[in-house]
Homo-oligomer: A and B are copies of this chain.
Amino acid sequence: VASRFVAFGELLLRLDPRGHDRLVQAEEFRARYTGAEANVAVSLACFGRDAAVVSRVPDHEIRQACVNYLRRFGVDVGGVVRGGDRLGIVYVETGASQRPSRVVYDRTGTSLREARPEEFDWDRLLTGRDWFHFSGTAPALGPNVQAVLKDALRAARRLGLTVSCDANYRSKLWGPEEAGRVLGDLLEEVDAFIGGAEDAEKVFGIRPPPGASPAEFRVEAAAVLRRRFGLRHVAMTIRGGDSASEGRLAGFIADGAGAWESREYEMEIVDRIGGGDAFTAGIVHGLLAGWEPSRTVEFAAAAACLKHSVPGDFNLVTAEEVEALVAGRGGSRVVR
């Protein structure tokens, strides 16, 4: 069986000090591999879907470790091209209470930044697949990746894949104007867009109507985005709380027929990173399954909630576990 979901984006080595140690105390790092788009692929593989990652990594031992790490969780890595000098690194310091988590990027000069369009045979990579996904951190890597991505979107359109994009705006990678311009171009080819209300405001200049509540602004922002870029679905995570140890999370989705919010979860947080990617995977899972938007957003919010309990970026939970949470079976019982 061919893989049905394909994600394109950068792969990185994630290094964490142990427990709540600060980077300046660290004598050892836990090593895991990640990437906004790879996280979505791994999550979908855990839900039982065929999922593949396309990327570019240097040809040495660390590449092999990275590729193996994805393969271990069931992702097809046949589309990971070899070349360039380095794998990017992300150092993650896990905060607690009033101390926020910190992420230090070391992403200059990475292999993907220097990718050339001719290295990726998108017709081969996308044939027989149903869904293509990328996030804003990919085009933020510069003109090379943007060119690769445009090829990919053209091929996806030609081959009839559904396309999703997670805004994933990072001010360390690019400014809001450039992000708005580049993402705006790409969104023309996108069906499902995932991005928070602040991104809508900061990157696309959509202002909350005077006196609008946050919920009203979400509906309005989604409508504007849908109109402006011809999107079918717009989804968002809704986060609350003021602590690195605890938080609240819900999901939102809108399409031509309406807008839906999921229930809100109060969470104790083991690892915050990757929550948005887990939400995206939930949305893709529901849309691929043809579920109602309300079911889709409940599933995605529950998936994102569970991610916060799993160490690392990958949401290593099954679809059954997500469904159990949607059905109200919380964490207090011991599953024996």
CB distance from A2 to the nearest CB of B (A): 14
Interface string of A231-260 (1 = CB under 8 A from B): 000000001111111110000000000000
Query: What is the oligomeric copy number?
Result: 6
Cα–Cα, bound, A306→B101 (Å) = 12
Q: Are A332 and B244 in contact (CB under 8 A)?
A: yes
Question: Which residues of chain B come closer than 8 Å to A308, judged between CB atoms?
Answer: 96-97
Interface hits, A265-307 → B, CB 8 Å: 265, 267-270, 272-273, 302, 305-306
Q: Are A62 and B23 in contact (CB under 8 A)?
A: yes
Does A172 sit within 8 A of B, measured CB to CB?
A: yes
Cα–Cα, bound, A104→B59 (Å) = 11
Q: Are A102 and B72 in contact (CB under 8 A)?
A: no
Cross-chain contact of A246 among B30, B100, B268 (Cβ < 8 A): B268
Cα–Cα, bound, A170→B101 (Å) = 34
Cα–Cα, bound, A28→B15 (Å) = 8
Cα–Cα, bound, A20→B268 (Å) = 12
Q: Are B23 and A65 in contact (CB under 8 A)?
A: yes
Q: Are B100 and A243 in contact (CB under 8 A)?
A: no
Interface hits, A156-202 → B, CB 8 Å: 170-172
Q: Are A102 and B30 in contact (CB under 8 A)?
A: no
Q: Which residues of A contact B (CB under 8 A)?
A: 15, 19-31, 60-62, 64-65, 68-69, 71-74, 85-87, 89, 91, 93, 95-106, 108-109, 170-172, 239-247, 265, 267-270, 272-273, 302, 305-306, 308-312, 316-317, 321, 325, 329-336
Known: A26-B65, A27-B31, A61-B104. 11 other contacts (CB 8 A): A22-B310, A23-B64, A24-B316, A28-B30, A69-B72, A98-B265, A102-B334, A102-B335, A103-B334, A109-B109, A241-B332
Q: Can you list 6 A-B contacts (CB < 8 A)?
A: A21-B311, A29-B31, A61-B102, A62-B106, A170-B336, A241-B332
